[in-house]
């Protein structure tokens, strides 16, 4: 796997990505399925926020970015000026959103 690339497991909602010569696996079921935020810690102890998003609309592609975290007023904040885009490999939108579509339809029937 090359740096700044990712593979998406559409069934289990996991994203495996390589960043700074390290491989990470993130569960994107955390938070909204269309916009998932997680934090990773690299081998140097540096924390980064990662964001996965994908709209369930034709033509939309998955997006994945890594953001630096910085200490500001005693709190960690996202430094949006320092973001790194990670290329997500091919993924199947219908497989990824299958369960969410099913749940949505069931709510509409009730």
pLDDT at residue number 51: 93
Q: What's 73's DSSP letter?
A: T
pLDDT at residue number 33: 55
- What's the distance, CA 37 to chain centroid? 6
Domain of 96 in residue numbering reads as 5-109
Give the list of residues 6+ apart from residue 23 with CB closer than 8 angstroms, or none: 1, 16, 17
Average pLDDT for runs of 10 along the chain of length 110: 93 94 91 76 92 87 92 87 90 87 69
Quote the number of domains for the chain.
Answer: 1
């Amino acid at each position: 796997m090359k740096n700044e690339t990712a593979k998406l497991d559409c069934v289990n909602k996991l994203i495996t990505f390589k960043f700074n010569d390290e491989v990470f696996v993130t569960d994107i079921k955390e938070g909204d399925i269309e916009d998932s935020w997680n934090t990773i810690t690299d081998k140097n102890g540096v924390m980064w926020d990662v964001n996965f998003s994908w709209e369930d609309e034709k033509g939309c592609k998955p997006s994945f970015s890594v953001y630096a975290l910085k200490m500001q007023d005693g709190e960690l904040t996202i430094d949006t000026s320092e973001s790194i885009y990670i290329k997500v490999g091919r993924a199947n939108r219908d497989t990824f959103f299958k369960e969410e579509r099913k749940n949505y339809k069931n709510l509409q029937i009730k």
